[in-house]
Amino acid sequence: MKLFLTISVLAAGLLFGGAAGAHSFDTIFVVPQSGAQAEAGKQARDGFMFAARELDGHPDETADGHLGGLDVYLRMVDSNGAQGDVLAELRDLAARPADDTPRIVAPAALLPTVKEQIGAAELLAIDLNAPAQPDILTMNGRPFGAAFEAAFGYAPTPAVFAGYGAARRIDKAVRENN
């Protein structure tokens, strides 16, 4: 089953304050990395990483970025794989030892199966093709479009805004529970 276009945030443990004692967490990002939608998946990842690098950085960084003041490590899974393969990879990544329960950004069509097989506490759906939000500001108060283009060399697309929004929602939930 090919899955693409719509991604959702499945933030396991956010509501229960699971990150409170942690210093880091994994985010498993399930977006197209192959096929016709691979570019949209890359753009969503770029938007997510832009948010993860906006605040709380420090010298000798080993994490991919920070969300909610904690180190975040991004693990990629191609949503265009067969559903069984995607779920197997998700189970493997979710079972790895980590300081906290991983957060999963995944296609909406896959979320019920992910919840059943891996578990979940919070679901938040976003669409890679939703209209862009040109008036939003970064977490540092700068116009998002100009800041993103300066960092990545291209104007943000709807997929960029979707990835950025997913990261900002995770950041907010982690900060509120710490």
What b/e string do you get for 20-32 counting C-beta neighbours within 10 Å, with b at 16 or more?
eebebbbbbbbbb
- At 62 the pLDDT is 81
The topology under which CATH files domain 6-176 is: Rossmann fold (3.40.50)
Q: Which amino acid is at 160?
A: V
Residue indicated by tokens 């079972």: 95
**What pTM did the predictor assign?**
0.81
**Cβ within 8 Å of residue 127, ≥6 positions away:** 5, 6, 7, 158, 162
Report CA Rg, the chain.
15
- At 152 the pLDDT is 97
**Cβ within 8 Å of residue 20, ≥6 positions away:** 177, 178
> How many CB atoms within 10 Å of residue 47?
27
- Ranges of each domain in the chain: 6-176
Secondary element (H or E) of residue 84: helix 83-95
- What is the tens place of the pLDDT at every residue in 67-105? 888 888 888 889 888 888 888 888 787 776 655 566 777
Share the mean pLDDT of the chain: 77
- What is the tens place of the pLDDT at every residue in 158-177? 999 999 988 988 888 888 87
